[in-house]
Amino acid sequence: MSVKDTERPTRIVRALRSGQVTIPAAFRRELGIDEQSLLRMTLENGGLRIMPVQVDDEPRGSPWLKEFYDYFAPVRQEAEEKGYTDEEINTWIDEALAAVRAERPGRW
């Protein structure tokens, strides 16, 4: 065990039969974890790392892209009603993009 390991707050907890573990209350308070928190669990160097995930209330991404996505909502709905798969639709989009790029080389 290194000096760094002994300086870190450490607790020994027991895993329940179902695999659940309890994060000590002091740790939860320190990290701001409550019953609504999302946690990222990662296998790392033979151990388990648990990190709280921050979720923004504001949507991320381009407002233009969201507007574009919303504009085509009726088209997506129609495709869904006709039973087209996402894979089929994505293939058609890729083909259309390739055709436009072939017509206008150097712009993409």
pLDDT of amino acid 58: 66
- Structural domains in the chain, sorted by start: 3-53 (2.10.260.10), 63-103 (no CATH)
User: What is the mean pLDDT, run by run of 10 residues, along the chain of 108 residues?
Assistant: 67 93 94 92 93 77 81 86 89 88 79
pLDDT of amino acid 80: 86
* Element holding 40 (H helix, E strand): strand 38-44
pLDDT of amino acid 6: 61
**Which two three-digit tokens encode residue 97?**
């993009």
Burial class (CB in 10 A: 0-12, 13-18, 19+), 24: middle
Rounded CA-CA distance 11/24 in Å is 8
Burial 25-39, CB ≥16 within 10 A → b, else e: eeeeeeeebeeeeee
**Which two three-digit tokens encode residue 18?**
């179902």
* Residue 13, φ and ψ in degrees, nearest 5: -125, 160
